Structure 1
Amino acid sequence: MTAPNLFLIYVTDVPRATAFYSNLFGIEPVMLTPRYVPFEAAPGVLFALWSGRSDTVTPQVPRTSEVGLMTKQPVDELFAQWVAKGVTVAEEPHDEVFGRTFVVTDPDGNLIRVSPFD
């Protein structure tokens, strides 16, 4: 069986979201199109921004997903770096059953959760 290798994040403004994720993660897109922008998360695995069909893109359509980033960097250290970049904080760093974590949001309100590697 093939493992999932494409993860879509729904956004309303693809250029704005592309700039946000490029800056936040320090990565560049694989390609640019008006409504779809993929980033290579790992060899053969894409994390992509997608606005949907052009006739359905409106700010009134809620777009919420949760992106997970497991890091080897100390979670509180990464939190401080991201706050310095101006992210919107949804949850301050705290301890959970899986370790230290925090949550920020992208410009569309999608959640980005940071935690240590399992």
Structure 2
Amino acid sequence: MTTSVVSVVYVNDAPAAARFYGDLLGMSPSFETSGYITFDLGPGADLGLWSGQFEGLSPDVPRTGEVCLAIDGGPDELNAVFEQWNSKGVTILREPHDAGFGLTFLAADPDGNRIRVAPRG
């Protein structure tokens, strides 16, 4: 049996969210409908953007989960990603800091969902 773990992020507008995530990740969706779009992140991992399930999501509502982008490279690579995202106008919730497992920063998508960038462990 082949399995894949799909991390689902609830959004107001799946195509708009796909443009946002596609730009940040430098990739195109692997599957698209008007309300559900996925990105193939590698063997056994996908990111799903799903709209229509929670109409009117507000960025002001605290989120308890995160999508984590684990990157190769050290602090210089993480800082470069931070600078790139910051220059694109991505909402930064917490600038690069040491969290015990390495340098990390926290951003948010337009719906308020958290996106952490951290070193690959």
Length-normalised TM-score, structure 1 = 0.86
Residue 8 of structure 1 is matched in structure 2 by 8
1:57 match: secondary structure: coil
Question: What is the Cα deviation at residue 58 of structure 1?
Answer: 2.8
The list of structure 1 runs, each at least 4 consecutive aligned residues, that deviate by more than 3 angstroms after superposition, is: 59-65
Q: Is residue 30–residue 40 contact of structure 1 (8 Å, CA) maintained in 2?
A: yes
Is 1:79 paired with 2:82? yes
Deviations 1:46-102 (A, max 9, x none): 11101244xx52346958341001111421111011111210000000111100000
Aligned residues: CA RMSD: 2.3
Is 1:45 paired with 2:48? no
Gaps in structure 2 of 5+ consecutive residues = none
Paired residue total: 116
2:32 match: secondary structure: coil
Give distance in 1, aligned partners of 2:106 and 2:66: 9
State the identity %. 41
Q: 1:88 aligns with which of 79, 82, 91?
A: 91
Length-normalised TM-score, structure 2 = 0.84
Gaps in structure 1 of 5+ consecutive residues = none
Residue 99 of structure 1 is matched in structure 2 by 102
Give distance in 1, aligned partners of 2:58 and 2:43: 35
Give distance in 2, aligned partners of 1:16 and 1:109: 14
